[in-house]
Structure 1
Amino acid sequence: MSHDTLPRANALPILTYHNIARAPRGIRRWRSLYVSPGAFARQLWLLRRFGYAGLSMSAAMPYLRGERSGRVAVITLDDGYADNLEHALPLLQQHGFSATCYVVSGSIGQYNQWDAERLGVRKPLMSVEQLREWHRGGMEIGAHTHSHPRLTQCSDVQLRDEIHGSKATLEDRLGMPVTQFCYPYGDADHRVAGVVREAGFAAATTTARGRASAGMDLWQLPRVQIARHHLLPQFAMRVMSGYEDRRG
């Protein structure tokens, strides 16, 4: 890797994953949401090889606030799929990394009701006990609303239910603070972000492309999508260079 592709000290890639599993046979749409355990393992190895610390959102907050600097990659997984516990947790632990899993509070222990019909597959979501196991394994749980709606289309009352309600439900059912938030579909505007901040979340992530850096709005942070078809050189380019920043 050439010198000009090495990471800037203040650039924090916040990686976005969904399923850490092989895509089921017969699924045609959105296969990109699946990253195989083998590919995930190689990506974590590469991060560690290049001196990155893989951190959860809360662990990365000092870097996002500009209080610390270093080679950091933030690892996030959206929706709370059971395969995250089965496949991602042991690999993260193997490398001494932590990660944040954003959970849809109204679908705990169920399946992806918001897109199962469109995708043609029901994907199991972690139960309360599985989420506790994820947390006991050194990982973080964040909120991903109550029902996974497009938040900019919600009324003010619905917004409070989806945002404040998801935080309250997760904290009540899991018995732990939940301080990180993720917008379903990356759908957010200033009104939505204001409710997230008001609810007491320390930060929130979008699907806007780019790496985060100190000084950015903590409640509208960009991320780097990692998909099934990304080979290791593509992964490195997205994480360790300005490739995603230029596409933000």
Structure 2
Amino acid sequence: MTAAPMQRATAVPILMYHNIARAPRKLPRWRSLYVSPGAFARQMWLLRRLGYTGLSMTAAMPYLRGEQQGRIAVITLDDGYLDNLEAALPVLAHHGFSATCYAVSGQLGRYNAWDAELLGVRKPTMTAVQLRQWQQAGMEVGAHTRSHPHLTRCTDAQLREEIEGSKHDLEDLLGQPVRQFCYPYGDADERVVAAAREAGYHAATTTHRGRAFAGMDLWRLPRIQVARHHVLAKFAVKTLSAYEDRRA
């Protein structure tokens, strides 16, 4: 048997979302960061209809390590926006899915200070209490640094502050280990990846395109971006075929 069929059989799509809300009309750019609640509900329905289970990063680790096989899709949401709790959580709970929300620990209960000026809109983030509600509903909280910087531009001391510091912040807040990390902007090099490993995370996600396969570097996992303009058929092709792998 060749390697290619085996890889196709063990492919794990890790979906990347940001806002589950309607894009503001005044938003001049990056409307793709928004997926409407209705579209998100249809996407989760399709996964369930096709026999897939939506899992958080930690729940998916046996699949990512090649210890288990099955029809799963990993669901991740970046930045910890309030609309994840209000719009995504009820849909995930309805289908019995879990998901990982990567929170910026220094911006809880505030807004997207890292790109608000660029986007022209302030998007509210979950408070500490709301983040606990997310976790108590069976969802996972991962770390996304303290301030959402470009990590490759950070000094070694700043890397520890952002990567390890965020882990400690969230663990103190939630009273549970934080095992998952996401690089802001997908900005990572060898030094940044090493810092994530050393901080004690079990895995880390990037913005590189493609599905994950057993045997991949767990601290450089690719994802599939789900954007506002992706109709249901396009979502299915991107998620459940080799479409994204060919564009990696």
Structure-1-length-normalised TM-score: 0.96
d(CA) in 2 for partners of 1:95 and 1:45? 8
Provide the identity percentage: 72
1:175: Cα distance to partner?
A: 1.5
The question of 1:82 aligning with 2:100 is answered no
Matched to 1:130, the amino acid is Q
d(CA) in 2 for partners of 1:136 and 1:156? 34
| Match of residue 169 from structure 2 | 169
Secondary structure in 1 matching 2:74: strand
d(CA) in 2 for partners of 1:200 and 1:139? 20
| Match of residue 138 from structure 2 | 138
| Match of residue 209 from structure 1 | 209
The question of 1:128 aligning with 2:128 is answered yes
Poorly superposed stretches of 4+, deviation over 2 Å: none
Matched to 2:200, the amino acid is G
Query: What stretches of structure 1 of length at least 5 have no aligned partner?
Result: 1-6
d(CA) in 1 for partners of 2:185 and 2:36? 22
| Match of residue 37 from structure 1 | 37
Query: What stretches of structure 2 of length at least 5 have no aligned partner?
Result: 1-6
Structure-2-length-normalised TM-score: 0.96
Q: Deviations over 1:34-55 (max 9, x none)?
A: 1000000000011011111100
Matched to 2:58, the amino acid is S
Secondary structure in 2 matching 1:12: coil
| Match of residue 61 from structure 2 | 61
Secondary structure in 2 matching 1:8: helix
Matched to 2:151, the amino acid is L
Secondary structure in 2 matching 1:244: helix
**Two-structure CA RMSD over aligned residues (Å):** 0.9
Q: Deviations over 1:152-174 (max 9, x none)?
A: 11110100000010000111122
Matched to 2:246, the amino acid is R
d(CA) in 2 for partners of 1:190 and 1:241? 30
Q: Deviations over 1:99-153 (max 9, x none)?
A: 0000001001100000000000000000000000001111000000010001011
d(CA) in 2 for partners of 1:237 and 1:21? 23
The question of 1:240 aligning with 2:233 is answered no
